[in-house]
Amino acid sequence: MLGLMRNRAVNRNLLFIMGTDVLLIVTALLSAYLVRFDFDIPGRFRPLILRTIPLALGVKVVVFYYMGLYRGMWRYTSIADLFSIIKAASLSTLLIIGFLLLSTRFVGFSRSVVIVDWCFTIILISSFRLLIRIVFVHLTEKKSLADTIRKVWILLKGKNPGKNNLLIIGAGDCGEKIYREIRDNLDLKYNIVGFIDDDRNKIGKKIHGISVLGPIDNIAYIAQKLEAQELLIAISSATSRQMRSIVASCKQSGLPFKTVPGMGELINGRVTVNAIREVDYRDLLGRDVVELDENEIGAYLEGRVVLVTGAGGSIGSELCRQICRFRPEKIVLFEKAESPLFYIELELKNKFQNIHIVPLLSDIQNRCHLEKAFDDYQPAVVFHAAAYKHVPMLEIQPWRAIENNILGTCNVIDAAQRFKVDRFVFVSTDKAVRPANVMGASKRVAEMLVQGCCNNDSVDSRYMVVRFGNVVGSIGSVVPLFKEQIKNGGPVTVTHPEVTRFFMTIPEACQLILQAGAMGGRDSVYTYLLDMGTPVKIVDMARDLIRLSGFEPDVDIKIEFVGLRSGEKLYEELITEGEGIVPTDHDQILVLKGECFPRKELYNKVAALIQCARAQDGDIIKNVLRDIIPEYKHKKN
């Protein structure tokens, strides 16, 4: 019954569109004769009009039908539909010309009428389709007559007096997409009053009727002249230097400002109004967007079962989002924290409804749970991101680092080898390089365990290590701490004026992990790391965050130096002794080939270390760690 009702509705719509087209085709032909003869058609041409109308109707309606003009959803009329109308009108006009040439050699017919009729047909048919879109998009809501009239007036005038005037910084693709979304959705709270761009070739031009007014340095003057109330930075490819300059100009204007995230943060690559957010420190990091080889990544993820340990953490959850872009058959979320697991499961199920999401509330320290998960789901790809990472806390309780970071990694490796996974990617840290703390030492031992897999000839799998620096915005990172201190009025506490760190964003880290999974070979275990650029002074980061919050460092918000904490270094490194850089085709990713550690000897030392952890003897744990990692330095109590 419902199907019959839908068919009737479709038939009614088709008849309505075709009937209207018939009227428009006749109107176009009559208008062409009127224009040709200055609205005074000679009497001898009137019988020709009556003979031409059936020909024009028959040819045009048939051509329009077979070229798909009656299969479109005209509420979504676009440029592509305009081109379809032009092609259909052109073909039908050529057919009419051909028929008249063959039948009458155009004797008695005006040639110019045919050309003018072609133009009027395109204009009238296109205008009717556009009118349908306007009606559906803007006038079908159940609003009052006054509100409907207001919407029509806004469409014609282009401004809504009840909304904020917005100035868009960036007259490129990103700015144009944001403009179109705001223009098409009258419920958004903005009027676009202009664009700003440093490209001299764009200044003075117009985008959808809105002018590109001048360079970014003139934001304050232009904003005041146009009575702008907000600013939007719509340059998703901006470098940190550009962002710093733009932010400084925005602050000079005194207006609130927001930004569109970089492409690395946009999971689906689509710029939308929903993506707009406050300018954050990650926008000032100073590194080009990581370019993924999506074909390589898709080749090893699409249609396969993927397991992620630590799936509820900062890195693990973003990794799951990125993996789902490549359409795996199933993704297993292995996480021991209940609430983070619940939230990432809910998010993924909402965004990726065609992918089977499997949440497993479990712990990598539990070998039985791990093996059950591997046996039940048979993952082809494993990303091991579960780890304890808080340096001072693990200095106090070093046995927790051993149990989770080392024993847990042993369990995951053993399960991966037993069930013959195709790829195993271990997420490490720059703190594993010449470690000065238990956390870094435990991650270095875990790296060695993964690298020891190259000695296992019976396993035809790819094992790889990914190493990166501090992640901006991750749980336990310095940025949330600084923001909280600024919110409370200060002071902002920095350990040492010279302490520096490598920083990257969470999306950058996850993209590196995915790309490493595509690059790993079977002949050796490689370590991959992102070209991190120049390390950042923590005190400079603190000053930037204070300024982004609208304050002046050391004036409104004080900075205090509290001294290095236990296990902290002034400088972090990315390469340890004995690791050499191996050439790679990817400009932003460095590949290190380390040694393959004797598996049996390493496992014996790790077994002793685990026994010490069970005894919870911190001093002995640190001594055993130094025996395994000679470069590990720790202060003896």
- Structure confidence by residue, pLDDT tens digits, 297-319: 888 888 999 999 999 988 889 89
Angle, alpha carbons 534-538-544 (nearest 5°): 90
- Specify the pairing of strand 536-537 against strand 470-472: unpaired
- Specify the pairing of strand 330-335 against strand 305-309: parallel
Task: Identify which has the larger pLDDT, 328 or 14.
Answer: 328
Kindly indicate the confidence band of residue 347, based on its pLDDT and cuts at 50, 70 and 90.
Answer: very high
What percentage of the chain exceeds 90 in pLDDT? 15
136-145 mean pLDDT: 50
Kindly indicate the confidence band of residue 379, based on its pLDDT and cuts at 50, 70 and 90.
Answer: very high
Least confident of 146-160, 575-589, 594-608: 146-160
182-199 mean pLDDT: 77
Least confident of 344-348, 396-400, 572-576: 572-576
CB 322 within 8 A of CB 264: no
Mean pLDDT of the chain: 77
CB 388 within 8 A of CB 404: yes
Asked if pLDDT for residue 357 goes beyond 50, the answer is: yes
Asked if pLDDT for residue 147 goes beyond 70, the answer is: no
Kindly indicate the confidence band of residue 413, based on its pLDDT and cuts at 50, 70 and 90.
Answer: very high
Task: Count CA atoms within 13 Å of residue 573 on its CB side.
Answer: 12
CB 486 within 8 A of CB 545: yes
550-573 mean pLDDT: 72
Kindly indicate the confidence band of residue 550, based on its pLDDT and cuts at 50, 70 and 90.
Answer: low
Asked if pLDDT for residue 477 goes beyond 70, the answer is: no
**Is 295 buried (19+), middle (13-18) or exposed (0-12) by CB count in 10 A?**
exposed
Count CB neighbours of 362 within 10 A.
17
Residue 267: per-residue pLDDT: 45
**Domains of the chain with CATH codes:** 2-139 (no CATH), 161-279 (3.40.50.720), 296-469+504-533+586-628 (3.40.50.720)
**Is 170 buried (19+), middle (13-18) or exposed (0-12) by CB count in 10 A?**
buried
Question: Following CA atoms 25, 28, 34, 38 in sequence, which dihedral angle do they give, to the nearest 10 degrees?
Answer: -170
Residue 234: per-residue pLDDT: 81
- Of 347, 338, 351, 289, nearest to 317 (Cα)? 347
Asked if pLDDT for residue 337 goes beyond 60, the answer is: yes
Kindly indicate the confidence band of residue 262, based on its pLDDT and cuts at 50, 70 and 90.
Answer: low
CB 212 within 8 A of CB 202: yes
Task: Identify which has the larger pLDDT, 599 or 369.
Answer: 369
Asked if pLDDT for residue 145 goes beyond 50, the answer is: no
554-577 mean pLDDT: 69
Asked if pLDDT for residue 388 goes beyond 80, the answer is: yes
Place of tokens 């050796």: 524
Residue 404: per-residue pLDDT: 92
Residue 410: per-residue pLDDT: 92
Could you give the CA distance from residue 223 to residue 242 in angstroms, rounded to a whole number? Answer: 19
Q: How far is CA 501 from CA 477, 570, 630, in A?
A: 11, 8, 23
- Structure confidence by residue, pLDDT tens digits, 249-261: 888 887 888 777 6
Residue 491: per-residue pLDDT: 85
507-512 mean pLDDT: 78
**Is 231 buried (19+), middle (13-18) or exposed (0-12) by CB count in 10 A?**
buried
What percentage of the chain exceeds 70 in pLDDT? 74
Could you give the CA distance from residue 253 to residue 9 in angstroms, rounded to a whole number? Answer: 55
152-156 mean pLDDT: 51
Residue 366: per-residue pLDDT: 92
Count CB neighbours of 542 within 10 A.
25
Residue 287: per-residue pLDDT: 53
72-77 mean pLDDT: 57
Asked if pLDDT for residue 263 goes beyond 60, the answer is: no
555-579 mean pLDDT: 67
Q: For residue 333, report the phi and psi dihedrals to the nearest 5 degrees.
A: -95, 105
93-108 mean pLDDT: 79
Residue 151: per-residue pLDDT: 54
